Structure 1
Amino acid sequence: MATEPKAVINTADLKLDHWKQGAFYEGADTSFGALLGLAGLGISYNEVPPGKSSCPFHNHHVEDELFYVISGAGEYRFGDERHAIKAGDVLGAPAGGPETAHQIINSGTATLVYLGISTMAKTEIVEYPDSGKFLAKTNRDGAKPGRFRHIGRPESDLDYWDGEPGA
């Protein structure tokens, strides 16, 4: 049974999912755009402890992202630059190549809290410059299976005709 979209949500009422990956990645977050009835806009609430990041350095080919720092301080990697960030800062991450790759790191002493807002493309390619990976994904509403997702590296590239009958 679908939940009726709300006109107003208070972030204090959101149920956060806490997770940890290795020594550097950790956070408590949730996505809530759907709770507001927003089909084309993704919104996340994120809490990142000191010394951690919630995601690898990455760039989107299709989706634009914007981040709003609610509290705490940190560092914003953007392309080849690093920027000090604090409460009240708005960070842009437009779609593009490695020059728009971005990552938020909590280099402060308190929990870094921010909102992430993004366009929600049906198909997206994400590159990870630090590790040389890419992610290809698509979401197809109502289709079975409803999505395709693959993470790989360019060196595992196959020939277009590989495995095709009669090729």
Structure 2
Amino acid sequence: MNRTKFILTTLAFYPLTLLAKILPKTALGITKGFKVNSGEARFGVHYKMKGVTLNTLDIKISGKDTENDLAVFEQTGLTPNGGPPLHIHPNQDEWFYVIEGEYKFQVGNDTYQMKAGDIIFLPRNIQHAFVQLTEKGRMIVSYLPAGKMEDFFAVTDKWTLPPAKEEIEQVFADHDMKVVGPPLIVD
């Protein structure tokens, strides 16, 4: 085989490699959209994050819908002055969109005051936490990739008593997160 023919043959296969990256998603049936109504959860389950906060999390887009590429939740905040401990997601980016209420976020060493209409991006491997500043709040939170977040909220929903710090840290670790500090406090 001469060199020109080899190069042309090699280049001809390049579009096939791109198609191979796209094809599995459509070949597996992820080709139809869906709607989740306001106040409802994708599979009808309203997770209560008992023990850490009293927040409710509704899956809007599941990792099961996206081959674990994305998960989107609506979080209803029912815990004024409450929030998760300072933690890290080593494998996930996260973003929040505030629908209602006010929050304070810490991302790395920076703090941000958030109100309705604000959005914040939290890159993977950066410590972060938030605290709810108002009586009630609502946010959209998204995880990229979805990771084990749906399972994490299913576990916290089963708690009947506030868990010990060690149990919280273990459940975070079991779901690919690391607790690195206490929850934020309101100034």
Q: TM-score range by the shorter chain?
A: 0.5 to 0.7
Q: Name the SS for the 1:45 alignment partner.
A: strand
Amino acid of the structure 1 residue aligned with 2:100: S
Q: Which runs of 5+ in 2 are unaligned?
A: 1-31, 149-174, 183-187
**How far off its partner does 1:17 sit?**
2.5
Alignment of 1:61-76 (within 5 A): 61-76=90-105
Partner of 2:47: 17
Bigger helix fraction: 2
**In the alignment, is the contact (CA less than 8 A) between 2:54 and 2:77 conserved in 1?**
yes
Q: Say what the alpha-carbon RMSD is for the aligned residues.
A: 2.7
Which residue of the partner structure matches residue 163 of structure 1?
none
Q: Which amino acid aligns with 2:65?
A: G
- What is the CA deviation profile of residues 81-122 of structure 1, one whole-angstrom value per residue up to 9, with x for unaligned ones? 2211100111111112xxx2111210123x110011111266
Deviation at 1:36, TM superposition (A): 8.5
Q: Label 1:35 to 1:121 Cα distance change in 2 as closer, same or farther (>3 A).
A: closer
For 1:10-44, what per-residue CA distance to the aligned partner results, in whole angstroms no more than 9, with x for missing partners? 2323352334216xx22111223239832311111
Query: What is the aligned partner in structure 2 of residue 161 from structure 1?
Result: none
Write the letter of the residue equivalent to 1:107: L
Secondary structure at 2:54's aligned position in 1? Answer: strand
> How many residues end up aligned between the 2 structures?
121
**Quick one: higher RCO (CA 8 Å, sep 6+), 1 or 2?**
2
Identity %: 18
Are 1:69 and 1:87, in contact at CA under 8 Å, matched by a contact in 2? yes
Name the CA shift for 1:86/1:122 in 2 (closer, same or farther; >3 Å): closer
Larger radius of gyration: 2
5+ long unaligned stretches in structure 1: 132-167
TM-score in terms of structure 1 length: 0.62
SS state at 1:12 partner: coil
Instruction: Give the superposition deviation at 1:67.
Output: 0.8
TM-score by length of 2: 0.56
Query: Using the alignment, how far apart are the partners of 1:122 and 1:67 within structure 2?
Result: 16
